[in-house]
Amino acid sequence: MIVGILKEIKAEENRVCMTPAGVEVIAAHGHKVIVEKSAGVGSGFSDADYVKSGAEIVATGQELFQRAEMVMHVKEPLPSEYALLRKDQILFTYLHLAAAEELTRALVKSKSVCIAYETVQKTDRSLPLLTPMSEVAGRMAIQQGAKYLEMAQGGHGVLLGGVPGVDPGNVVVIGGGVVGVNAAKMACGLGAKVYILDQNLDRLRYLSDVMPANCFNLYSSPAMVRELIQRADVVVGAVLIPGAKAPKLITREMLKTMKPGSVLVDVAIDQGGCFETSTPTTHSKPIFAVEQVVHYCVANMPGAVPRTSTLALTNATLPYALEIATKGWKRAMRESAEIRAGANVVSGKITYQAVSQAFGLEYTPIDDLL
């Protein structure tokens, strides 16, 4: 199979979907790998690095789309790429379709085979291709929250860890999954007082065993959220419903009860955001304020640390990319429930139920197409 590695064109996105080391493995299994010129530069990988690993460099994304049987991306296709996708071509990337109706309809029209990293799911319900970026985003959430608490950045001037004789800051993490736990670890390490909210009691019991003493694990309810945000300095939105749009857990009205200069970090922004007032921002313009509460809503947070993110992403995606390339998408999906769960739009049909429900469009079980 011809596997194409695209250069990302989303604003300030410096990740690349595959390292030269990953390309070497794919090529060693008999596949041809083509890489768009300068695709890896933002992550510290030169075109020469890819050539040494067995890849061919192509000049443009258009040429890559024309030649590749499977196209790999980090972020979702942008409008300029919609028309480049063709029937039966495999697209393997993060898609987040439940918050992107225009993209969903474009992928349906293309009749391509669209496999989303974020919905590939193991039998234990873990999300192996979302996990590495969730780890990065969770840790970054606290770095960014701490920075924007500084008065010069629009915050109210609180040091999250405090100092001897002065109370530390309060961090509320809504969601006890991968993002939430990584955010809480970072906040606890700084010395903040941290609250994790989740509705899974087994998860809360586990967290109570493994998290440090300055982390308090509480059952999440609207009343608990309303109570805790009043004393919060940083709130991290870390709620995920796989493949579906994020629920709105903090309303505009609730912001009026928060401290002026406190910070909301919405890690769920890729899935529409879990705060009513969230709108996507960029690394160059990462924040805005509503009701004197700072909002950080960058939609590609891990893109700020592309070297780390690219290495972590390749570690996770490589086995799946290799399986799809070796077996073809139909056989790979028939033999792997994990890859089958990644099918979002296939041959003009929406094959992920949460996406069809988000826009009231017809759902077709992937098994009907295999």
Which residue among 31, 49, 73, 96 is the active-site one?
A: 96
Per the listing, tokens 């009701």 go with 291
Query: Residue 96 catalytic?
Result: yes
Cβ atoms of 265 and 294 closer than 8 Å: no
CA dist 261 and 266 (Å) reads 16
Most distant CA pair in the chain, distance:
65
CA dist 193 and 138 (Å) reads 17
Q: Which H or E run includes 113?
A: strand 113-116
CA dist 344 and 328 (Å) reads 16
Alpha helices in 68-200 (DSSP H): 79-82, 101-110, 131-148, 178-190
What residues pair up with 293 in beta bridges, in sequence order?
A: 290
For residue 213, give both structure tokens: 């003493």
For residue 43, give both structure tokens: 């992550």
CA dist 266 and 152 (Å) reads 21
Which residue among 31, 266, 270, 295 is the active-site one?
A: 270
Q: What is the DSSP letter of 6?
A: P
Closest CA to 179 of 271, 288, 306: 271
What residues pair up with 32 in beta bridges, in sequence order?
A: 2
Query: Residue 270 catalytic?
Result: yes
Alpha helices in 111-255 (DSSP H): 131-148, 178-190, 201-210, 222-229, 252-255
Q: Look up residue 1 and give its amino acid.
A: M
CA atoms within 13 Å, Cβ hemisphere of 353: 4
The catalytic residue positions are 96, 270
